Structure 1
């Protein structure tokens, strides 16, 4: 903590004494064990008071105010459960009034808090309640890199930081025994800049759009057929038009895809060509990035007419200045660093779990003096909610060591709509046929195995033709090291994973991806009313395949095995729109499966012939073939 900040905190502390907010304890703070509702107003009043004094004392503008959220609705939730946090910090300008009560949106919340009546509630269940609120924030703020939160249990407070590796929490401390630390936490939250609060500084403000991204790109693009690069580079600017996909999670890749247009040198938006910009947080355990593999595939398939694989344009690991004011850091000859959850966000905190799920951490690097980004991290030294293989259970809740992740960005030059937004039977069948061809090209020519065929990884271009995307879980089959590394790992999206992979009875091969294509088509026939992505009415009486999406992988594997042995049972769940698919699906199933399992002699050619025969039956003669010249998708 800097000397100037310490002076501000001392001055606020003195003001609290003078105005009878403090007298050996915080005056008016409910006793431990009081009703939870009795805490709301005292917490609200005290935190707002500290923020006001920070405004007057520090010379900084405290840009956040506190809203007592439990008394007001929070708009735009993403989860099925209507969550209402106890305390949130938001910009004053974003607090609306409805019948005299404050109303905020999840998209405007900077910091979130949970209040409990006693320090006995300072446990994993409370931590997970807070995590539920954070998921809502991430879900409404796709450019958020991390989120701060806090829990107040009686007079005990614990600070949390949530990022794409999970959550880490501080040691709990008493607001009565350490009032200056309490003041410091509130003033830090109130005066942080956007990047210090976790907003992505690489997404720049641009009028009438979501934002702008700039890339320093080689002059010779791989998508233009160039396999080499030159020393010359230029800045290319893209404007984000709309969000087309987002996986709203705390811990994981948190993939978000944007439709984007390039800007010319004069700043004019080039609307004749659409791109997809994909942001995700890849695991540091992967040797190959999606960008590396897609670049390899685009080069390998550059002479393949209609490759049916999305085309590489650019990729990078996102870099940012480590503090919110780039000018200050540049003056000290600082440079950008890679945006990751370990070094950039967590400041090299090392965590280790004990048998109770509460963990200790150590700093293995000193924070730069006067760096405001680092100061709030000093108390972050105990709890973890994360994800890797090493875990303990607390009250039957798994707590895991964090898997560290790197913020990565990929630009592709082909744009389309999801497969389930097909226009008619024919377009659906053609898109599947095309994408299976794309998978064959990836595997046989580029020597890349996809390993994650799902509802979200098949797109339809503006010309009505299908293509395959998303190489996040793909492997280079020419790399022995990569193949050995993934042996025994289950990979894919749960409802669409092959039976042998779910049961861990086989290494992942191309035939398992072909099996996944079959399950995606079954899912569309069962879960959608018809064209244009219209889902089945939840209230209609029907059997469905939702059970494929929940539970243990082994249980899902045995369930699928039984259903593939009695496939007519699955077809009974098809929506009426797909009644004409029964004969085709029965024929496809018979060709692919024996005794409920994928046949060993399955081939691309056999599957493609079944699709082609059905397409011909529906008269495919006039389909366009200009896949390489996609316009703006719909």
Structure 2
């Protein structure tokens, strides 16, 4: 064993880690009149697997297992252990492989001997039996009736015949991990980057006329850019010559490029003063602070360069909400390829889109060496322009046009939502309800989106302008796949059918911009990106993707060669011999397109005022919605650092390894009748809003354990009512979708929100969506292992994990704290399932874990959690068959606890 492993073992001693296991083994031996020795193991019959499971599930709780690498060094030893944990009850598992380890533990051997046997047992070259339902059949033997001993609570009135959990539904939509699903994560780059790559997939690059398309709102930009570039080349003091831009640093080091960039932008503004749009009422400036983190992100994030408004006044620290256009610099032209500059830029874009709920998309740029590329990111992902060498005539002109475009384009052109308006210091939304125009005043932001290619759900607390009592309503703004059933219609149906403890419907609509339904393909991209969808498979590549990749390689090579040639010319040509080149009309001419500028118009033809300038970007604001404490999306205050990676050369970093299994998406059809197309069908998202009558806070904000338990009981009741009375299955139980209202009536202290992923229980077809996202930390074990058809039993298990998560992550209302369980956000499905199974297998193990992991605020819930564990996981494992009584069993446990703690 090497020195690194020995040091880890020394720093993390086993201590009494196996005390409980040894006592249990001795008890079993005594009950069978056997001597308490390792030799007794072979004579214990069926109890051998129980003992083996007990021993193996103890190992992940030993700190050393979380730090030791596996024998191959490719992963941690913990993963090897968890793989065995999942299949150890299978009849195919050879128990003899763990006997030497059992002997070392029972003999109370030293730590090095024990861990040597662990390596021998769990790090063999021979692979384990692949996970499958067949090989795990023994693991999934369940009790067939409830084992809870408490008195059951009365069930919700059943207006329809109870439905079985095993329905003949279509295949489930494959799960796809996104950065929007993190809960209480410190969001360090090594953890976030692989999932961000998975979320975005392969971007479409090399799109021609990209800049002309997105800057079409800027009047006379083509003329202005050509005139300014001509001045750069042929003016009294030319700044662009045969070798490119004056002062361009030959080695393109970051600090040198930043200084050049700032100086050049200032000169371009001076040269363009006569061409500024007449109606321009704002000024922008360049922000460069690559080593100073911006405020408003969960992990520590800094940005190389970007554009901000110039009216911010004296600002001590800039915020992500101030950033209008993010940019990324790399010294090497070859870095303009995945995952180098692209993933760094996407990291900035994610923070920009998350800082405010008023962005439909954002523009950005990368400059790798002297190679410029423009980007657009929206809720489907990213796409990019061709690559231009700014030290060549064509690229230099493109650089001038792009930079003037960023300085002059209006906020709607930068992606801000014109349907969110501002007048007399009020921010508001207008909608037409029952034939009457209503204005909703935004009072505060409740939640902000955290991903890029996602639903990007944003919620605001609002009130009707005409309501003197200002009764709160909630507006939910999101981007849904067009194949999905409209959440507004599902909520309306649930409300009309009298569903209890679910947010009540008020209104819903699709957002329109300039009289056009606001979707990605038509409204934002307007057909610019026409790449057909391709399956996310590991062994195939779409022709379009291959073409993009080859084009990018060729473009990068050409740009790199041009930069090298220019550098060589600089070294071989004397300063006296150099002169500014003559830029021909052909080199400076742009494709002129007819540009249409208009104001945002509603479907009813009402003219919108120009979209607000958010207060978080004005000099009147010193805080964005996240506050000064770098709060994450769940309101927690976590300060763990996530360092910014610098990749100066294209070969510095390989792609981050992601252990997650990516499922191949199956073709889907819509929930009711709309069939999906073939594999070439383009994905699309549409911008929708739902208005709810009920206002509450995420359940983790509960003021006391009693308030938490009371709200959770109400929400379980709401889930049952939603399923029985409306025939809807929620499918996304998480800490953000389980809501508390401590000021509400006694029977409505808690309610469910978010039916984005809800389905009809008796549907016969799929939704047609390519994938669905969810909060993995709260997913049921069977869903993580097998991707089974989602049933109400899985949602009930998710309620258990919600309560557990709060108990280990919150030490009071909104007082989030770091926990070792943060890793659940990033573990692959099988590892997470194995970890959860090991936790719930036995009462004493679970209680030991809870005592060491629960915060002081929630310690008194440990007995309650253990009772719920016993109900949700009889015999320490998930139920094999659906159990309709689990609703009343779980509610009964919660009500019993409330009654016993009513004092």
Match of 1:471 in 2: 755
Aligned partners of 1:32 and 1:154 also within 8 Å? no
**Rounded Cα–Cα distance in structure 2 between residues aligned with 1:563 and 1:38:** 54
Q: Which residue of 2 aligns with 1:534?
A: 815
Deviates more, 1:397-406 or 1:124-133: 397-406
1:311 to 1:367, Cα distance in 2 relative to 1, 3 A: farther
Q: Are residues 1:346 and 2:525 paired?
A: yes
2:716 to 424, 436, 451: 436
Q: Deviation at 1:272?
A: 3.9
2:471 aligned to which of 273, 276, 280? 273
* Residue deviations 1:537-580 (CA, integer Å, cap 9, x gap): x4xxxx74323222112211121111110322442222233333
Q: Is the 8 A contact 2:341 2:368 kept in 1?
A: no
In structure 2, distance between residues paired with 1:372 and 1:446 = 46
Match of 1:414 among 690, 694, 698: 694
Alignment deviations for residues 134-161 of structure 1 (CA, whole Å, 9 cap, x no partner): 1221122221111111111222100011
List structure 1 segments (4+ residues) > 6 angstroms apart after TM superposition. 397-402
Match for residue 63 of structure 2? none
Are the counterparts in 2 of residues 563 and 569 from structure 1 also a CA contact under 8 Å?
no
Does structure 1 retain, via aligned residues, the 8 Å contact 2:292–2:302? no
CA–CA separation in structure 2 for the residues paired with 1:76 and 1:496: 29
* TM-superposition CA deviations, 1:71-91 (whole Å, max 9, x none): 684642313123132x22122
* Structure 2 SS opposite 1:551: coil
> How many angstroms apart in 2 are the aligned matches of 1:132 and 1:214?
33
Deviations 1:382-407 (A, max 9, x none): xxxxxxxxxxx984589999953211
Once residues 62 and 181 of structure 1 are traced to their aligned partners in structure 2, the CA distance between those partners, rounded to angstroms, is 25
- The number of equivalent residue pairs is 545
User: Counterpart of 1:249?
Assistant: 451
Compared with structure 1, are the counterparts of its residues 5 and 571 closer, same or farther at alpha carbon in structure 2 (3 Å cutoff)?
closer
For residues 368-517 of structure 1, what are the structure 2 equivalents within 5 Å?
Answer: 369-371=594-596, 395=655, 403-461=683-741, 462-463=743-744, 465-482=749-766, 492-504=774-786, 506-517=788-799
Unmatched 5+ stretches in structure 2: 1-211, 532-543, 553-590, 599-652, 665-679
Q: How far off is 1:489 after superposition?
A: 6.9
Task: State the alpha-carbon separation in 1 of the partners of residues 222 and 593 from structure 2.
Answer: 17
**Residue 121 (1) aligns with residue 401 (2):** no
| Deviation larger for 164-173 or 67-76 | 67-76
Q: Assess if the C-alpha contact under 8 Å between 1:490 and 1:501 holds in 2.
A: no
State the shift of 1:514 in Å: 0.4
1:550 is aligned, of 826, 830, 848, to: 826
Q: Is the 8 A contact 2:289 2:302 kept in 1?
A: no
Partner of 2:573: none
TM norm structure 2: 0.57
Tell me the CA shift for residue 442 of structure 1.
0.4
1:228-243 superposed matches below 5 A: 233-243=435-445
Distance 1:431 1:367 in 2: 61
Report if aligned partners of 2:293, 2:300 keep a CA contact under 8 Å in 1: no
Alpha-carbon distance in structure 2 between the residues aligned to 1:418 and 1:253: 18
Superposed CA RMSD: 3.0
Residue of structure 1 in register with 2:261 after alignment: 43
Counterpart for residue 522 of structure 1: 804
Q: Describe how 1:136-285 pairs up with structure 2 within 5 A.
A: 136-177=351-392, 178=394, 179-209=396-426, 211-218=427-434, 233-264=435-466, 270-285=468-483
Deviation string for 1:35-84 (max 9, x for gaps)?
A: 22221122212223223333322444384433241268464231312313
Inter-partner Cα distance in structure 2 for 1:370 and 1:490 = 37
Separation of aligned partners in 2, 1:159 and 1:14: 22
1:201 deviation in Å? 0.2
C-alpha separation in 1, matches of 2:856 and 2:387? 57
Q: TM-score, normalised by structure 1?
A: 0.80
Q: 2 CA distance for matches of 1:409 and 1:184?
A: 36
Q: In the alignment, is the contact (CA less than 8 A) between 1:588 and 1:607 conserved in 2?
A: yes
Counterpart of 1:596 (choices 869, 876, 880) is 876
Question: Within 1, Cα distance between the matches of 2:773 and 2:277?
Answer: 53
Alpha-carbon contact 1:238-1:263 (below 8 Å) kept: yes
2:200 alignment counterpart? none
Q: What secondary structure is seen at the aligned counterpart in 2 of 1:473? A: coil
Q: Which residue of 2 aligns with 1:617?
A: 900
Structure 1: gaps spanning 5 or more residues: 219-232, 322-335, 361-365, 374-392, 621-634
Q: Is the 8 A contact 2:509 2:690 kept in 1?
A: yes
- Aligned residues of 2:258 and 2:288 also touching (Cα < 8 A): no
1:76 to 295, 302, 308: 295
Larger RCO, structures 1/2 (Cα 8 Å, 6+ apart)? 2
* Secondary structure class of the residue paired with 2:438: strand
Provide the C-alpha distance between the structure 2 equivalents of 1:476 and 1:367, rounded to a whole number of angstroms: 51
How far the C-alpha of 1:504 sits from its partner, in A, is 1.9
Deviation at 1:618, TM superposition (A): 2.7
